[in-house]
Amino acid sequence: MNTMVKHTFRTERCKGCGLCVSACSKHLLAISKETINKSGHYVAYMTNQEACTGCCNCALMCPDCVIRIEKE
Ligand code: SF4
Ligand code: SF4
């Protein structure tokens, strides 16, 4: 059922704070060491979309509403 979850980032709003990384109990998120947004922040990214349960913990934790989760 995990393939039914679509997890996306509005990366231009990301501050690279890492709160979402800490919030994911499955350790699926990370902060990039390469990709910087227009504000100069290293951005969060998904490491394993297939494993995401769509629990929304990361989205709820993000103070800047960067993460969007859609379920079908
Ligand atoms: S919590 Fe939000 S702002 Fe912070 S790293 Fe994650 S997506 Fe970016
Ligand atoms: S929705 Fe849940 S499982 Fe998926 S990345 Fe966010 S915290 Fe992790």
Domain of 41, CATH number, reads 3.30.70.20
Please give the tally of structural domains in the chain.
Answer: 1
Helix (H, G, I), strand (E, B) or coil at 61: helix
Six-digit token string for 41: 């922040």
**Contact criterion met (CB below 8 Å) for 20 and 62:** yes
For ligand 1, pick from 46, 64, 68 the residue to mutate: most ligand atoms within 8 Å of CB. Answer: 64
- Domain range spanning residue 61? 2-71
Whether residue 42 has its Cβ less than 6 Å from ligand 2 = no
Q: What is the pLDDT of residue 60?
A: 98
Whole-angstrom CA distances from 34 to 9, 54, 64, 66, 72 are: 16, 26, 21, 19, 32
Per-residue pLDDT of the chain (72 residues; tens, 9 = 90+): 445 899 999 999 999 999 999 999 999 999 999 999 999 999 999 999 999 999 999 999 999 999 999 998
For ligand 2, pick from 55, 56, 60, 68 the residue to mutate: most ligand atoms within 8 Å of CB. Answer: 55
Whether residue 66 has its Cβ less than 6 Å from ligand 2 = no
Report DSSP state, residue 22. H
